[in-house]
Chain A
Amino acid sequence: MDYETLLQLLASMIRLGVPLLLACLAGLFSERSGIFDIGLEGKMLVGAFMAGAIAFVSGSAWVGLAASIGISILFGLIHGVASITFHGNQLISGVAVNFLASGLTVLVGQSWFGLGGRTPALEDTARFEPITLPFAGSLAGVPVLGPFYAEVISGQTILAYTAFAAVPISWWVLYRSRFGLRLRAVGENPAAVDTAGISVVRLRFTAVIITGLLCGIAGAYLATSAPSAGFGKEMTAGKGFIALAALIFAKWRPWQALGATMLFGLLEAISIRFPDLSIGPVALPVQAMQSAPYLLTVIILAGFVGRAIPPRAGGEPYIKER
């Protein structure tokens, strides 16, 4: 494999990894506050649909992004109301959110555009174009690092750079801010947080809203990034679950989330670039690469490679008085 192929693989890794990263960080906030969220997939899907639809109607990718974030937060609030206000089962609520997204996107999409659930293709200002970073052209001649800068680091969309910026920001919020301390505490021991006079309900709702925000950006990234922009039926295709897998892989930590999502992005990039890869005498079928994230997650969960311990209060509704 030559250097050029490697660069293409890395660029494709970033393209495939960015939505995973955003969704993974989204899940991080929710689950760290003690709200399990298997509805990441659904929130990304409605986000992608609204981004595609509204960007087409308004002609602006930014308006599409706002719509995506709005609907994704709304779906997050459904989950919040069910699991925080009404002490419902968070897993069941997540399943419902996923199906609601899966059905509504097609139903509404067909009614608005009549394209069988697709939205019309986006052009010009209705989509986010790749940004060429400064000096990308002039530095391209520098051996090894030059092409890496020009082809992998430069030329991503604004949303991709946002995703990467979200990693240190999430780390800072989680580990250096007062809100983050409380958020982590409420996911481990909500009763203690409550005793300290801090509202568990408010903290958890804030977390759910942040989750919606990040899933919305992930959805908008899927639907409005050039070159092929527009929403397609079931566009997320299990990405929300891979993000969930990455979250466990990263053991609910932001920097590790970056590593895990990029690893899964790379695996997908390889399976697309080399459909019949062989390592030595063993021919790896494309399906083996596709199922690798899921297999790795099961192995991690089984505790064979380090233990993945979720936030202690995760999944348990907090009921103030008995």
Chain B
Amino acid sequence: MQKIPRWADLALIPLLNLLIAFVISGIVIYAIGEDPWMALRTMVEGTILRADGWGYMLYFATNFMFTGLAVAVAFHASQFNIGGEGQATMGGLGVALVCMALPWPHWTVALLAATLGAALFGAVWAAIPAFLQAKRGSHIVITTIMFNFIAASLLNYLLSNVLRPIGSMDPSSAHFPDGTKLPTFHEMPILSGIFDKNTPANITFFMALAACVIVWALIWKTRLGYMIRAFGKSEAAAKYAGISPFRIIMISMIISGALSGMMALNTVMGYSEKLILNSVEGAGFIGIAVALMGRSHPFGVFLASILFGFLYQGGAELALWTTIPRELITVIQALVILFTGALDNMVRTPVERLFLMLRKGDR
């Protein structure tokens, strides 16, 4: 018998966790001498109440959906992929190499090829730590952290020594050809009426939505997904059932890395239109918060991504209009990770007790 009903597990506890995180954030804002309500109002006015706010919010949410799904898929196989940052960095390299390789005739072809490039580079960067975990027992958390730093160094080297156009001082690649330009919300039917031409949100938002559906189908509707979940729940039982741990670790991490890498389609191809240093900007790490908050379920990841998109755009608005720096968002992110992840039992145990008491009362 389950200790608590399903709705409490899926909605009540995450909401309580989130509430604690936000209340403490409010206290932090108050403690530094600012007004929490004013901060919240500024954030809401700069995002939900303005069309260009929506544009940025959904642009950020696109990144978080990819990285959040990446962390979630790995979580299902009980792997903690903390290397989304590095995998997205490498994904950006893949996108840039594809975009600059050919004079692409149309964005659809370019997007298809760039998706493969992004996914491949991200997947390779995740596959090495996965292989070391599966074959040599090297702890995947440590190796993926190390691979984040190695990716940053590698990109830094490539941008300042190889990909930088002659005569340019910036550590960035050349501008991508026109054929790779992705349509933004402004250039799409129906949406063009709402969003103006500076809108960064683009076609990859819909790819992220599709990725949510595909990951859901993969995890819950396929044989492979079943094997991944079985392995994640109990390695010993999975082995007994003939599931190869090596295969599951490799496959789940390759999918995870590919998803992280695809984030670069949005930032590199859809927004900066050239490869720059640090285009990932911590989105790989936000994936952790998003996956924890979303309980590793694609629909949860979608909701959490929108929330973090709101926080990110809201944070930029705060930095613009108030004296609160945008690092406030880092604090909120930390508290969300702390309360929905590490301190989950703090809320769960009392809630479980409460439900047990209520149940006893029924009898």
Complex CA distance for A241 and B144, rounded to whole angstroms: 12
The residue that A104 contacts in the complex, of B28, B33, B154, with Cβ under 8 A, is B28
The digit string for A269-310, where 1 denotes a CB below 8 A from any CB of B, is: 000000000000000010110110011011001110000001
Does B329 count as interface, using CB distance less than 8 angstroms? yes
B28 touches A88 (CB 8 A): no
A302 touches B28 (CB 8 A): no
Residue numbers in A under 8 Å from B341 (CB-CB): 88-89, 92-93, 95-96
Which stretch, A105-113, A193-201, A255-263, touches the partner chain B?
A: A105-113
Which stretch, A65-73, A78-86, A147-155, A182-190, touches the partner chain B?
A: A78-86
Provide the main secondary structure of the chain A interface. Answer: helix
The residue that B346 contacts in the complex, of A86, A244, A245, A288, with Cβ under 8 A, is A86
Residue numbers in A under 8 Å from B288 (CB-CB): 92, 95
B150 touches A294 (CB 8 A): yes
Does A248 count as interface, using CB distance less than 8 angstroms? yes
CB within 8 Å for A38 and B335 given contacts A88-B343, A93-B341, A303-B136: no
Does B161 count as interface, using CB distance less than 8 angstroms? yes
B141 to A: closest C-beta gap in Å? 5
A231 to B: closest C-beta gap in Å? 14
Residue numbers in A under 8 Å from B28 (CB-CB): 104, 107
A83 to B: closest C-beta gap in Å? 7
Provide the main secondary structure of the chain B interface. Answer: helix
The digit string for A6-36, where 1 denotes a CB below 8 A from any CB of B, is: 0000000000000000000000000000000
Complex CA distance for A83 and B33, rounded to whole angstroms: 32
B77 to A: closest C-beta gap in Å? 15
CB within 8 Å for A96 and B334 given contacts A91-B82, A285-B161: yes
A294 touches B149 (CB 8 A): yes
The residue that B329 contacts in the complex, of A88, A98, A103, with Cβ under 8 A, is A103
Chain B interface extent, by class = 35 or more
Complex CA distance for A107 and B33, rounded to whole angstroms: 11
Chain A interface extent, by class = 35 or more
- The residue on B at minimum CB distance from A310 is B139
Does A47 count as interface, using CB distance less than 8 angstroms? no
- The residue on A at minimum CB distance from B333 is A99
CB within 8 Å for A298 and B331 given contacts A82-B342, A303-B137: no
* Those 3 A-B pairs whose CB atoms lie nearest each other, nearest first: A103-B330, A99-B334, A93-B342
A-B contact pairs, 28 of them (CB 8 A): A86-B345, A88-B343, A90-B342, A91-B82, A91-B141, A92-B292, A95-B82, A95-B341, A96-B337, A96-B341, A99-B330, A100-B338, A102-B334, A103-B327, A107-B328, A107-B331, A110-B327, A244-B142, A245-B142, A287-B154, A291-B153, A295-B150, A297-B142, A298-B132, A298-B146, A298-B147, A302-B136, A303-B137
